Amino acid sequence: MSRTPIISGNWKMNLNHFEAIQTVQKLHYSLPKEVHDSVDVSVHPPFTDIRSVQTVIEADDLDIILGAQHCHWEPTGAFTGEISPAFLAKLDVKLVICGHSERRDLFGETDEMVNRKVKAIFQHGMTPIMCCGESLAEREAGETEAKVLGQVAAGLEGLQAEQVASMVIAYEPIWAIGTGKTATADDAQAVCQAIRVAVAASFGADTAGAVRIQYGGSVKAGTTEELMAQPDVDGALVGGASLDPEEFSRIVQFAAG
């Protein structure tokens, strides 16, 4: 089954709204128009930037998908500092990252919380990018597959096959995030393939053939071509490199082929 690659730029806690406007405009201008026929491109700015980036995307008719980095599972309530998925939907956010390793490690997000967020994102008409990944200690202990597939199973609990087919799963080994280290293309393929096999076992072959699986972890333009050549790697969740519009553009163009 042919799957459209998806390249997502996670800006994390970087770029004020003025800088975000400039970055998304520069990205647009650096991308050949025909690229968008073969690859989906999303940006995930900080919450304070979303309205500004939304306005630019709509006013200039940019072929860039607006995303968010995180949300709560409740639409309203006494959750100081949290962001409602309903509010994001009103800003025409299409993709929401959930379960990022930094959210899990630094803010104590559990598999159960991630599952609730995945369901809330769908409930409000958006698509989740659900992250999973192992630590260096788990990798060295040979526990990569058990850890990753456990997170995937928990995150997808209670979903319908058509929901799983429409979403994005991002494999991002924790030991590779922000370290400059990147899993080899063969390593990334092995884990992404294991995820697809697990999805097939739970939701059927058609669902597994449709779900898009990204790799994330110090992705650079120089590593993208080999990663994207792997049969079960359908894109990349890009961190630091997405802050440089020219570097991010090269990554997108490698993904487009």
Catalytic sites, residue numbers? 100, 172
| Euclidean distance between CA atoms 207 and 187, whole angstroms | 23
Three-state DSSP class for 38? coil
DSSP state of 181: -
| Euclidean distance between CA atoms 170 and 211, whole angstroms | 11
| Euclidean distance between CA atoms 211 and 217, whole angstroms | 20
Identify which of 6, 2, 39 has the alpha carbon closest to the alpha carbon of residue 210.
2
Cβ within 8 Å of residue 106, ≥6 positions away: none
CB atoms within 10 A of CB 36: 16
**What are 94's two structure tokens?**
């299409």
Q: How far is CA 91 from the centre of its chain?
A: 19
CB atoms within 10 A of CB 105: 12
DSSP assignment of 226-256 equals: HHHTSTT--EEEESGGGGSHHHHHHHHHHHH
Identify which of 102, 93, 98 has the alpha carbon closest to the alpha carbon of residue 112.
98
Three-state DSSP class for 209? helix
